[in-house]
Structure 1
Amino acid sequence: MSVDGETRQLTSEADEPGWEVDPDDDWGVAVVTTVGRQLKLRREAVGMRAGDFGTAVGYGEDLVYKIEGGKRIPRGEYLDRADEVLGAGGLLSAMKEDVAKVRYPKRVRELAKLEAQAVEIGIYESHGINGLLQIPEHARSLFRAMQPPYSPDEVERMVAARSARASIFERSPAPALSFVQEEVALRRPLGGTMVRRHQLERLLTVGQLHNVVLQVMPLDCETHSGMDGKIELLKFADGTAVGRSDGAFSGRPTSDPKQLRILELRYGTIRAQALSPRESLAFIEQLLGET
């Protein structure tokens, strides 16, 4: 790519929604404010004006001021270019990891941290397709339909956060993952026919991974132990675990062994009532053929 083409690309990326700082996220505000201050100090130390610096890194002057003022979250590419232009020796690039986390809402960061530490995860999803399994287009349609409505920036922020959680499928060593999805969620055409088709294709891909067990709870199941709602179970390498269910313990996360046994019993029963993994993949293939 030419320099002009690269500059246009970075400018376009900088204008994308979802890169505003959440004012209610104290840690996020502190990170972006600190990074912005360091960028400004280093730029001023080399005697470069904001406009010239913006041209060098491919951003407009206004966005440079927003980033330095802690009002805008810089992309990783921005920090890499700034590090090179300002001769920071890798110090600015090193901030990318924390800055990347800031883009995602606090509650999502906390959930992603638990998922990243878990060696085993079991999820029964009672209404929709679980967030770990959603493609961006499906997630975007879901967030856009919520009431009261989210702003475009909020929608893109949440889509990016949900998509980032899918990195769990690339972890090494791989965690053991199991999902039980309701048939009705697979039939609901959120986002339209093509989005549904791509979502079903994603489920087939994930369901064939060696560390994933994906099952479908059919509509014609006469005995269903999951009517109380979603169940999540996460187990960790040190033997501890955390679980949550919409219909138990006021919906709050729990690490109490007795309560965890109840959730494990319910989840195990739901899995036994659902289609087998082989039957489930065949069923999803059938639905895909009908789209």
Structure 2
Amino acid sequence: MQYFAAVLRILREHAGLTQEELGELMHYTGSAVSAVETCAKPPTDEFIEAAEKALDANGLLRSAITFLRLERYPVHFQGFVQLEQDALSVSSYCPQLIDGLLQTPQYAREVLGCAFPPFDEEEVDLLVAARMDRKALLDRKPAAVVNVILEEAALRRLIGGPEVMGQQYAYLLECAARPNVVIQVLPMSRAGHAGLQGPMTLLETPDETSMAYMESNGRSILLSKPDEVGVLARRYAMIRSQALGPDESVSFIEQLMGEL
């Protein structure tokens, strides 16, 4: 981010433009240009594309997009998201909220809007865009295998109200129809189950190393020791066996849609 800011400033000054003049060419304010040059705000893809064209940068600024996307994520999440994007498989257990990989923009915006301390509107926009960027692993070649176990409570919590949840249910069904995605629901009728100790995500890296990730209240733990990851992998397998099967889970989500 600091390097991009320095390059942007050098190109702007070489073109003989003030921040206000560059902002006008880009259809942004001068203060928006200043915020990026001082690293107060990370640039969006749209900002970078506008600067690329306004400064005729020959791809120099555009080439930074992939790297700068990491800056949109909270610091504690940046290491995980790099691993996630290259993973052969991602398996998550989500007791409270729908997995970020499977969230709609509207649902993600409502979730982020509940954060405390609150984010400002621009921060929410950046975080939503970053969360949507993670979906690239669903469509890449080869696509990652994604397994998600959702607690019934996470599905019944009407984040954003019936309209937002209706869109979210529909998107889950769309994802479940993908050949590389399996969604299972852990019903509340399963009162005692192996997932009561909290959420987790398991990853298989390109070199077939297994890793585990856990997060709570802005803190995260990334595990790579085989014995520690093994315990969580076995726990995940038990949770999966206690959840509804994929077809039953799809029917369950369709039922929830009908109840809205």
TM-score with structure 2 setting the length: 0.87
Residue 284 of structure 1 deviates from its aligned partner by 0.6
Query: Corresponding residue for 1:38?
Result: 7
Once the two structures are superposed, the pairs formed by residues 33-72 of structure 1 within 5 Å of their partners are 33-72=2-41
RMSD of equivalent CA atoms: 2.5
SS where residue 207 of structure 2 aligns?
Answer: coil
* Corresponding residue number in structure 2 for 1:253: 222
Deviation at 1:245, TM superposition (A): 5.5
Q: What is the deviation of 1:43?
A: 2.8
Equivalent residue in structure 2 for 1:239, among 208, 216, 220: 208
Local SS of the residue matching 2:88: strand
Asked if structure 1 preserves the Cα contact closer than 8 Å seen for 2:44 and 2:126, the reply is no
Distance 2:53 2:214 in 1: 49
Offset at 1:178?
0.8
Figure out how many residues of one structure are paired with residues of the other and give that number: 257
- 1:114 alignment partner in structure 2: 83
Return the alpha-carbon distance in structure 1 between the equivalents of residues 76 and 235 of structure 2: 26
The runs of at least 4 consecutive aligned structure 1 residues that moved more than 6 Å come to: none
The answer to whether the 8 A contact 1:104-1:160 is kept is: no
**Which of 86, 89, 101 in structure 1 is aligned with 2:70?**
101
For residues 113 and 55 of structure 1, do their structure 2 counterparts lie closer, same or farther at Cα, with a shift above 3 Å needed?
Answer: same
Distance 2:111 2:104 in 1: 11
Cα distance in 2 for partners of 1:177, 1:186 equals 18
Does 1:220 pair with 2:189? yes
Deviations 1:45-97 (A, max 9, x none): 23344444333222233333333344343333443343344343222322333
Aligned to 1:111, what secondary structure does the other structure show? helix
In the TM superposition, residue 243 of structure 1 has moved relative to its aligned partner by 1.5
Deviation at 1:134, TM superposition (A): 1.6
Compute the displacement of 1:223 (Å). Answer: 4.6
- State yes or no: 1:91 paired with 2:75: no
Counterparts of 1:81 and 1:266 in 2: how far apart (Å)? Answer: 48
Unaligned runs of 5+ in 1: 1-30
The TM-score with structure 1 as length reference comes to 0.78
Structure 2 residue ranges without an equivalent (≥5): none
**Percent identity of equivalent pairs:** 34
- CA separation in 1, counterparts of 2:37 and 2:213? 41
Alignment partners' CA distance in 2, 1:121 and 1:96: 24
Give 2:93's aligned amino acid: Y
Question: Is the Cα–Cα contact under 8 Å of residues 132 and 162 in structure 1 kept in the other structure?
Answer: yes
